[in-house]
Amino acid sequence: MQALALSVLPESLAVCRLEAAAQIPAWAHTGAFRAVIRTPTELSIVCREDSVPAGIPASRGWRAIAVAGTLDFALTGVLASLASPLAAAGVSIFAVSTYDTDYVLVKKDTLDRAVEALSAAGHHFPGLAP
């Protein structure tokens, strides 16, 4: 896998869980980065942390690291090239993929360690001060 250009998105995010049959709430549509995933067993929502009402089961304090550009569907190993060095550094991730690219969410208290591990693995963060 070649080195990837990465960026850290500015928002603090939450990963929430609702019942599978729940309606998608209005607060799920907040922020520049958001994801709604429905499965037969749950409704997962990733959105701006400060939008999640009290009492909603949520893991708060996540930051998103984005792979820059559009990835070809034939490309293999992208998530592995991110997940492996993060795992070796003891950084837990929550992965989100879109049609165009991939994102890994890391807890904000591990963000510096994540950037260091990914940089040491050969990836780079254009525009991020060293």
C-beta neighbour count of 83 within 10 angstroms? 15
What's the confidence (pLDDT) of residue 130? Answer: 55
Q: Give the three-class secondary structure for 30.
A: coil
Q: Which helix (H) or strand (E) holds 119?
A: helix 111-120
**Global pTM value:** 0.93
Question: What burial class does residue 117 get, using C-beta atoms within 10 Å of its C-beta: 0-12 exposed, 13-18 middle, 19+ buried?
Answer: buried
Q: For the domain that residue 14 is a member of, what is the CATH number?
A: 3.30.2130.10
Domain count, the chain: 1
Provide the domain limits for residue 115: 6-120
**80 phi, psi to nearest 5 deg:** -65, -35
What's the confidence (pLDDT) of residue 129? Answer: 57
Per-run averaged pLDDT (10 residues), the chain, 130 residues: 90 98 96 96 98 97 94 81 97 96 97 97 82
**23 - beta bridge partners?**
none
What's the confidence (pLDDT) of residue 1? Answer: 62
